[in-house]
Amino acid sequence: MSTTPPVTFTRAGIRRGFVMAQPLAPGVALYGLVFGVLAGERGLSWLYAVLMSTFVYSGSAQLAALQNLSQSALVLPIVATILVMNARYVLYSAAIQPWLGGATRTQGLASLFFLGDGNWAMAMREYHDGYRDAGFVLGSGVAMFVPWVGGTLAGHLLAHSVPNPARFGLDFMLVAFAAAIGIAVWRGKADLWPAGVAALVAFALHKLVPGGWYIVGAGLAGAVVGALRHGR
């Protein structure tokens, strides 16, 4: 007989997620600040920058889109870049489905809207440890969404006052944030194979295929190997 507790969705879970995500909030705000500065330097209005952070909500995709924006005025390459680099959210949504299976449609959609790399990693860790209040997903998501959008606006307003972020290594934020997520969800030697295969696929595709396909390929390869290794 199963002893797995049922999934709930309560205000207590939302508060827990919001509070536990606070240590990551300053880093998210700084990351948003960097994007806002770069968006201002590339001629994007503050409104477009904020709307982009609100509805795209992906630092890697937004920075890649800015790069394309500086190279071409065509919309299609920019949209394609965003879709390709955000394809990882399909994997995130599939992985987090057990969390949201007991939530209402409104609760599930709200949680997915605020879903980001950081709170996805935190939520999966909590679920793996036996916590079953899905409000955690929404609370942690809001805790990271607000500083991301706020940081974008602040960065754009300061765009002409802040020197080139690359001079201070702020363009390394994406790599550092991804590394932090990897450490948060790391479960020991069993994860060496998925991580290694994902790294090899990412390196190969980055060299052979233009655009952000290396992110999608690495994610799919790591997910498949991880599922095989963990018997899922």
Is the same domain home to 22 and 114? yes
Which tokens hold the place of 109?
């959609």
Q: What is the pTM of this model?
A: 0.73
Q: What is the mean pLDDT of the chain?
A: 80
Is the same domain home to 34 and 76? yes
Which tokens hold the place of 188?
């020991």
- In this structure, is residue 149 part of a structural domain? yes
What is the rounded CA–CA span in Å between residue 104 and residue 117? 23
**For residue 1, what pLDDT is reported?**
44
pLDDT above 70 for 23: yes
Owner of token pair 């790599």: 175
- In this structure, is residue 216 part of a structural domain? yes
Which tokens hold the place of 116?
């980001």
Is the same domain home to 206 and 232? yes
pLDDT in tens, 96-126: 888 887 788 999 999 999 998 889 888 988 9
What Rg value do the Cα atoms of the chain yield, rounded? 18
**For residue 149, what pLDDT is reported?**
97
pLDDT above 60 for 2: no
pLDDT in tens, 136-164: 999 999 999 999 999 999 999 988 776 66
- In this structure, is residue 129 part of a structural domain? yes
Between helices 117-128 and 173-185, what is the axis angle to 10°? 10
pLDDT above 90 for 218: no
Is the same domain home to 106 and 202? no
**For residue 173, what pLDDT is reported?**
60
DSSP 134-154: THHHHHHHHHHHHHHHHHHHH
pLDDT in tens, 34-45: 889 888 888 889
Is the same domain home to 216 and 153? no
What is the rounded CA–CA span in Å between residue 191 and residue 175? 19
**For residue 128, what pLDDT is reported?**
85
Is the same domain home to 138 and 52? yes
Between helices 117-128 and 11-20, what is the axis angle to 10°? 120
Which tokens hold the place of 121?
């990693």
pLDDT above 80 for 79: no
**For residue 177, what pLDDT is reported?**
59
Is the same domain home to 155 and 174? yes
**For residue 153, what pLDDT is reported?**
96
- In this structure, is residue 177 part of a structural domain? yes
Residue 112 structural domain: 11-186
Question: CA angle at residue 87 from 156 to 227, to 5 degrees?
Answer: 130
User: CB atoms < 10 A from the CB of 18, how many?
Assistant: 21
Number of domains the chain is built from: 2
Q: Which of 186, 201, 220 is the last residue of a domain?
A: 186
Give phi and psi for 133, each to the nearest 5: -95, 105
- In this structure, is residue 97 part of a structural domain? yes
Which tokens hold the place of 25?
């909030």
**For residue 59, what pLDDT is reported?**
82
Is the same domain home to 87 and 133? yes
25 against 174, higher pLDDT? 25
Is the same domain home to 68 and 166? yes
- In this structure, is residue 1 part of a structural domain? no
Is the same domain home to 64 and 161? yes
Owner of token pair 């890649």: 64
Cα dihedral angle (168, 171, 173, 175), rounded to 10 degrees? Answer: -120
